[in-house]
């Protein structure tokens, strides 16, 4: 009976761990930053990333667009370097970018997805609108 419990527990943990692993295909697309946590670690970057858009394209190009307020309307300004690319390491669940040398740790908690900038410590709650 004890062995059956140990086997059942091991299978349960393996299933939960596997369910949280994202693939590169899962990450491709447009991500909207809906919330920024740990804002005190880098207030300027936290302000810039509020309501930003992170695009991870299928050709591995990468861009961040910051929301710009201009009166009643708003626009987005691309802030990443030209020809920036991204790569994904599924074993560490991290996205690495060229040019800006940004590394984002991907986590999922309570049905929400987070990108944490490993350099600044800023944690971005992100959603895929489509």
Question: Would 93 be classed as within a structural domain?
Answer: yes
17 phi and psi angles, rounded to 5 deg: -60, -40
Residue 5 — pLDDT band, cuts 50, 70, 90?
very low
Which CATH number goes with the domain that contains 51? 2.40.128
Question: Would 18 be classed as within a structural domain?
Answer: no
Question: Would 11 be classed as within a structural domain?
Answer: no
Structural domains of the chain, count: 1
Question: Would 1 be classed as within a structural domain?
Answer: no
User: Shortest CA distance to 62 belongs to which of 91, 98, 114, 23?
Assistant: 98
pLDDT (0 to 100) of residue 75: 78
- N-terminal to C-terminal alpha carbon distance within the chain: 47
Question: Would 5 be classed as within a structural domain?
Answer: no
Question: Would 17 be classed as within a structural domain?
Answer: no
| Residue 44: C-alpha distances to residues 17, 33, 39, 47, 59 (Å) | 35, 15, 9, 5, 30
- The encoded tokens of residue 50 equal 């509020």
Residue 2 — pLDDT band, cuts 50, 70, 90?
low
Question: Would 61 be classed as within a structural domain?
Answer: yes
**CB atoms < 10 A from the CB of 76, how many?**
14
Question: Would 111 be classed as within a structural domain?
Answer: yes
Residue 73 — pLDDT band, cuts 50, 70, 90?
low
- Per residue in 87-116, pLDDT (tens digit) is 999 999 999 998 778 899 999 999 999 999
Percent of the chain at pLDDT > 90 equals 56
Q: Which domain holds residue 65?
A: 23-127
- Per residue in 23-59, pLDDT (tens digit) is 999 999 999 999 999 999 999 989 989 999 999 999 9
């Amino acid at each position: 009976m004890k062995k059956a419990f140990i086997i059942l527990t091991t299978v349960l943990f393996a299933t939960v761990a596997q369910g949280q692993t994202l693939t590169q295909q899962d990450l491709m697309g447009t991500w909207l930053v809906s919330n920024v946590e740990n804002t005190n670690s880098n207030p300027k970057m936290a302000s810039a990333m509020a309501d930003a858009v992170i695009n991870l394209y299928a050709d591995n190009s990468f861009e961040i667009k910051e929301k710009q307020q201009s009166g009643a309307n708003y626009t987005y300004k691309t802030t990443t370097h030209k020809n920036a690319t991204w790569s994904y390491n599924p074993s560490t669940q991290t996205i690495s970018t060229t040019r800006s040398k940004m590394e984002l740790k991907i986590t999922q908690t309570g049905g929400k997805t987070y990108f944490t900038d490993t350099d600044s410590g800023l944690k971005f709650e992100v959603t895929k609108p489509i």
